[in-house]
Amino acid sequence: MQEWDIEKKALLRYNKREKTTYTMTQPQDQSGAQSSSGNSGTVPPTVRTGEEVYNMIMGKIEPELVLDQIPLLDEKYKNETEPEKKTRLTRYQKAYAEYEKQYEAYKAEEEVKLHAFSKGLFGGVENRIKEDEEEDLENITNAIANIQD
């Protein structure tokens, strides 16, 4: 069985999983802080691409494995010894294992945000419908009262 280069493995993971993943996040202000408006459940989430998600998570774990750095690794490590390479690849394997954990946690967090957004959005629509129905009922009641007079 042929041994995969770490670069190919990273690109394969990206292409299989994150490339088509779109996740929702709360809008950020110009400083990068999340919006803290009181109606956070009704603020439309922004969409991140799979590449952005991968780079965001992996950048905190192992910056060498973000997508724009992977093509540079061969040149960077062209003179490393076999023991150094083995140590580096072990570090990368640990980074991927940690990435998997953090990615799952990230997806769960985004699901909660999406659920809150949906609930806030539909809750607002339901309130407006209820108000309209109450107004219509009041108009009908007044019309009936005017007919009886």
Per-domain boundaries in the chain:
6-24+39-148
pLDDT at 72: 95
| pTM for the predicted model, two decimal places | 0.58
pLDDT at 86: 96
Counting as low any pLDDT under 70, the low residues of the chain are 1-44, 124, 149
Q: How many CA atoms lie within 13 A of 29 on its CB side?
A: 6
pLDDT at 30: 46
